[in-house]
Amino acid sequence: MKTIVIHNAKDLRIEDDVVPEVAADEVEVKIAVGGVCGSDLHYYNHGGFGAVRLKQPMILGHEVAGIISQVGADVSHLAVGDHVAVSPSRPCGSCVYCAEGRRNHCLNMRFYGSAMPFPHIQGAFRERLVASAYQCAPTGSLSLGEAAMAEPLAVVLHGVRRAGEIVGKKVLITGCGPIGMLCLLAARRAGAVEIVMTDIAESALANARDCGADRVINTKDEPELLAAYGDDKGYFDVMFECTGAAPALIGGLTAVRPRAVIVQLGMGGDMSLPMVMVTAKELDLRGSFRFHEEFAIGIALMGQGLIDVKPLISHTVPLADAEQAFMIATDPLQPSLKTQIQFF
C-alpha cells in the first residue's frame, strides 16, 4: 500500500508499506479522504513544532475517513462496506487521567501522526488502515470528505466546551483558517449572539464573512478597528485564539472584557504575555488540547445538518500529488480552507 511519509522539513515522500494483519477486535479501512491539518504542516514546513522534532520518518495524517474492507472475528457492530470516520485518539484506558475521564491527557496516548513520543506514532495517511473497531464511527449519509472533517470539528467542540457557557455571549475569534471557521460554526450553534473574526489575509476574511461572521477585521491593514474594542476595558465575553501567534493573542486580550474567557486553540510555540493585563482584568486563559468523546458528537451534528462543513472543503488533491496539498495549505496567497487528499 502507498503511504505519505515525512522524513525532514520539506522532505515528503510517497512510500510502499505492508498492511498489518487484522486482529479480532480490529477492522481494516480503505482510506478514501485525508485532511491536511496544521500539525501536518508544522512537520512538513519545519520538521516539528516547539520542542517536538522529527527523529525518524513518520507517516503523517489523522483526519481520515474511508470504507471498511475487513472486520475482525469479534467485531459485530461494523460490516464490510460501512462508511466510517476514524478517530485518531487512542488512549490507554488505564492511566490516572483515563480513570478521571480526561482521556485526551492519557499518559500513554497513541495519537496518529505524532512525533511527541519516540518512537513516533505513525499516522493514518495510508491506503489501508488497520484500526481498533471502537475508533470507527459510522457516518451515514455524509460524504467521505465531510466525514474526514470530524477530527478538526472535534478539536473545536472540545474548545467550545472548555469555554463554558456561550449562550448570549459576544465572541472574538482570531484566525480564519479551518479551526477558526469551525469555531465560528460551533460557537454560533452554541448560542453566541455576536461573532467577530480577525486575520491578516483578505481571502481568509472573505471566507469568514461568507460563513456568517458578523464582522471581520484585517488586523494587518486596520489594527485600529480591533483596538477600538478595548474602550471601557473591553467588549468580548469569550475569545477563541486559533493562530498560535503572539500578536493575535495579545491584541485579543485588549479587546475582551474583565473576567472574559480566552481559549487557546492555536499551537505556534511559546510566547510572552502581558501578565499585568491578565491579572488586572482577571482574565481566564484556558488551554484546549485534542478531544475524545467530541469525535462522535461532531459526526452526529454534521449528520443532523446542525453544522455544515461542506463550504470549508476548498481543495481536493489526488494521492499521487500529495505534496501539492501541503503546498496549497501552506501558501498564504491561496484562498484555501481545508485541503484534502483523495486516496481513491
Answer yes or no: do 271 and 166 share one domain: yes
**DSSP sequence for 291-317:** -STHHHHHHHHHHTTSS--GGGEEEEE
Answer yes or no: do 141 and 162 share one domain: no
In a domain, 293, yes or no: no
More confident: 331 or 104: 104
Q: Which domain holds residue 30?
A: 2-149+309-342
**Is the pLDDT score of 269 beyond 80?**
no
Answer yes or no: do 254 and 184 share one domain: yes
For 260-289, what is the mean pLDDT? Answer: 94
Q: Are 128 and 28 in contact (CB under 8 A)?
A: yes
Q: Which of helix, strand or coil describes residue 163?
A: helix
Tens-digit pLDDT profile for residues 167-209: 999 999 999 999 999 999 999 999 999 999 999 999 999 999 9
Answer yes or no: do 123 and 178 share one domain: no
- Cα(142)–Cα(126) distance, integer angstroms: 21
- Cα(15)–Cα(4) distance, integer angstroms: 6
In a domain, 297, yes or no: no
Answer yes or no: do 22 and 140 share one domain: yes
Can you say how many angstroms the Cα of residue 249 is from the centroid of all Cα atoms in its chain? 18
Question: How does residue 215 score in pLDDT terms, banded at 50, 70 and 90?
Answer: very high
In a domain, 9, yes or no: yes
Answer yes or no: do 225 and 100 share one domain: no
Count structural domains, the chain. Answer: 2
Phi, psi of 177 (to 5 degrees): -80, -170
pTM score: 0.94
Tens-digit pLDDT profile for residues 60-96: 999 999 999 999 999 999 999 999 999 999 999 999 9
Q: Which amino acid is at 41?
A: L
Tens-digit pLDDT profile for residues 37-65: 989 999 999 999 888 999 999 999 999 99
Answer yes or no: do 10 and 78 share one domain: yes
Answer yes or no: do 40 and 177 share one domain: no
Q: Are 237 and 284 in contact (CB under 8 A)?
A: no
For 21-31, what is the mean pLDDT? Answer: 98
Q: Which of helix, strand or coil describes residue 5?
A: strand
- Average pLDDT score over the chain: 96
Tens-digit pLDDT profile for residues 119-178: 999 999 999 999 999 999 999 999 999 999 999 999 999 999 999 999 999 999 999 999
User: How would you label 193-217 residue by residue, b for 16+ Cβ within 10 Å and e otherwise?
Assistant: eebbbbbbbeebbebbeebebbebb
Tens-digit pLDDT profile for residues 217-238: 999 999 999 999 999 999 999 9
Residues 6+ apart with CB under 8 A from 304: none
Residue with C-alpha cell 491527557? 105
Answer yes or no: do 212 and 242 share one domain: yes
Answer yes or no: do 20 and 104 share one domain: yes
Answer yes or no: do 74 and 50 share one domain: yes
- Cα(14)–Cα(47) distance, integer angstroms: 17
In a domain, 95, yes or no: yes
